[in-house]
Amino acid sequence: MKNWILSSPDEHWRFAKDQQVWAFEDKTSADRMNVGDRLVFYISKSNPPVIAGIAEIVSQSLQAVEPFWPIERREGRIKWPWRINIRVIADGAADARKMADKMQFIRNKAKWGVYLRGSPGNFKQPIPDHDVELMMQALADPPVPYVIQKALIKLDTDVRTSAQPVPVVPPVDGFLPPVLSHLERLAAYDPPIKDTEDEFESRVWDAGRALGFYVKELGHKMRGKREPDAVFSLHREKRHFGVVVDAKARQAGYSFGTDDRAIVEYLDSKQQELLGEGVDPKHTYYAVISSTFIGNYEEVANRIEEETGCRRVVLLPARTVQAMVVRRLKTPSFDQEIEGLLLRSKERIIRQIETASI
């Protein structure tokens, strides 16, 4: 068994993780690897630079006969023909800088980054078991928040089946990560195609990480099961709290309707899980993220809080979420204020942060 490190854009890693597949442009690289080998995924152009996961190869490489990756489908041609099936065995985000000094394969510690580049990296040589075990241990810790310095917006829109990409909103004050720049449009179900809902959920997960939360991705990853779209948790030295998240892409705004029973079910289930992580149910919130909100939400929200004991049901316009990310990137200590923001707002629809950040 050998170990390999691969440099990958964040979007490629997410797709590979979902599909349990990786691919190479040239047969020589694919032929270096065998069933049972382990692949370490390093996210290129992330800040901080992170190791995002480890997978085991479960099949020999096969040559593709049709486009598979989102950008391949969009362009109508195969770019990475040599595909292998993988099984993800570790997933998270570990700061590569903090591990570089301990890695045996990095001989020149002052130029550690060059050893991580390429597919495979380390100048196309395997890396030691010792280093992979260190990375496995680091990935078992809560993921570090990271942003993409030069996000590949094209790849974000490539996930769609439509040939029309979502127009990109300019960055807010220059601080909003490009991967979140079209969150508001997605929340408004623009464009109105099925994949918009899944992409909106994925971008909400990115927003949670940018806000410093540990993010448990559910939603379309758990299709067919009754699950919320995500659970965000923030663990501090003296205080832990969790947010059960529902991402609702709606053109005309979101209304609770008959969703209250499903919300109660979600909260009952996730409060128990969060309790196992040290989060008191009294410090659990339920957040709905959408374009805007309509209808009689106050009465329904009060009933949910009384029945579940959650601290507050809050409604977050997608633009407010963007503003929160901007605030945190400008002021890293903002994560100390997030729970207070969720709690202190007199209105369930939290808007006031927008005027301060955007």
* In contact, 112 and 99? CB cutoff 8 Å: no
Domain termination site, one of 90, 118, 139:
139
Is residue 59 domain-shared with residue 204, that is, in the same domain? no
pLDDT score of 22 more than 90: yes
pLDDT score of 329 more than 50: yes
Structure confidence at residue 82 (pLDDT) = 92
The strand order across the sheet containing 312-317 reads 214-217, 230-235, 240-247, 284-290, 312-317
317 preceded by cis ω (within 30°)? no
Structure confidence at residue 160 (pLDDT) = 29
Is residue 198 domain-shared with residue 132, that is, in the same domain? no
Is residue 172 domain-shared with residue 121, that is, in the same domain? no
Domain termination site, one of 86, 119, 139:
139
Report the CATH number at residue 185. 3.40.91.30
Is residue 130 domain-shared with residue 252, that is, in the same domain? no
Give the CA distances from residue 270 to residues 141, 224, 285, 351, in Å, rounded to whole numbers and listed in that order.
Answer: 20, 17, 11, 26
Q: Which residues contact 262 (CB under 8 A, 6 or more apart)?
A: 226
Instruction: Name the domain count of the chain.
Output: 2
Mean pLDDT of 29-42: 93
Is residue 134 domain-shared with residue 153, that is, in the same domain? no
User: Using one digit for the tens of pLDDT, what is the confidence trace for 68-85?
Assistant: 887 888 788 898 999 999
Q: Determine the structural domain holding residue 121 and report its residue range.
A: 3-139
Q: Rounded to an integer, what distance in angstroms lies between the CA atom of residue 158 and that of residue 149?
A: 19
Report the CATH number at residue 120. 3.10.590.10
Place of tokens 């374009």: 291
Structure confidence at residue 4 (pLDDT) = 96
Label residue 353 by pLDDT band (50, 70, 90): low
Mean pLDDT of 54-62: 92
Is residue 112 domain-shared with residue 240, that is, in the same domain? no
* In contact, 45 and 177? CB cutoff 8 Å: no
User: Using one digit for the tens of pLDDT, what is the confidence trace for 248-266?
Assistant: 999 888 988 878 889 999 9
Is residue 238 domain-shared with residue 124, that is, in the same domain? no
Is residue 106 domain-shared with residue 188, that is, in the same domain? no
Is residue 202 domain-shared with residue 119, that is, in the same domain? no
Label residue 347 by pLDDT band (50, 70, 90): low
Mean pLDDT of 215-240: 86
Is residue 68 domain-shared with residue 205, that is, in the same domain? no
Structure confidence at residue 248 (pLDDT) = 94
Average pLDDT, the chain: 83
Is residue 341 domain-shared with residue 217, that is, in the same domain? yes
- Three-class HEC string of the chain: CCEEEEEECHHHHHHHHHHCEEEECCHHHHHCCCCCCEEEEEECCEECCEEEEEEEECCCCEECCCCCCHHHHHHCCCCCCEEEEEEEEEEEEEEHHHHHHHCCCCCCHHHHHHHHCCCCCHHHCCCCHHHHHHHHHHHCCCCCCCEECCCCHHHHHHCCCCCCCCCCCCCCCCCCCHHHCCHHHHHCCCCCCHHHHHHHHHHHHHHHHHCCCEEEECHHHHCCCCCCCEEEEEECCCCEEEEEEEECCCCCCECCCCCHHHHHHHHHHHHHHHHHCCCCHHHEEEEEEECCECCCHHHHHHHHHHHHCCCEEEEEEHHHHHHHHHHHHHCHHHHHCHHHHHHHCCCCECCHHHHHHC
Give the CA distances from residue 246 to residues 63, 201, 209, 217, in Å, rounded to whole numbers and listed in that order.
Answer: 40, 8, 15, 11
Domain termination site, one of 122, 139, 156:
139
Is residue 73 domain-shared with residue 29, that is, in the same domain? yes
